[in-house]
Amino acid sequence: MSEKFTPLWEVFIRARNGLAHKHAGSIHAADAEMALQAARDVYTRRGEGQSLWVVRSDQIVASDPSDKDMMFEPTASKIYRHPTFYEIPEEVGNM
């Protein structure tokens, strides 16, 4: 197979103002401008978006799943970060 690889890009769409961009999928394109056009043509055909981001997939730095325990377990016991940890008498009302 002699075909050169065309870079892969991740596509993020903001469905409407006020919302964050959300990952929608990926496309292939040779450069950023073409990636943006391809993202528009592929992922916004049904009025899905108001704004688009494209990011080269190889530029994304991801955490390693095998580090999952070290990275994300320790937070599980920090229940004092959540409002329900604290007891406020009902009479005080909403807080």
Least separation, in Å, of the C-beta of 86 and other proteins?
31
Q: What angle do CA 34, 18, 39 make, to 5 degrees?
A: 15
Task: Specify whether the CB–CB gap between 72 and 63 falls below 8 A.
Answer: no
Q: Which of 19, 41, 51, 70 binds other proteins (CB under 8 A)?
A: 41
Q: Does 50 bind other proteins (CB under 8 A)?
A: no
Rounded to an integer, what is the distance from CA 64 to the centroid of its chain? 16
Give the interface with other proteins as residue ranges (CB under 8 A): 1, 3-6, 8, 25-31, 33-34, 37-38, 40-42, 45-46, 62, 64-66
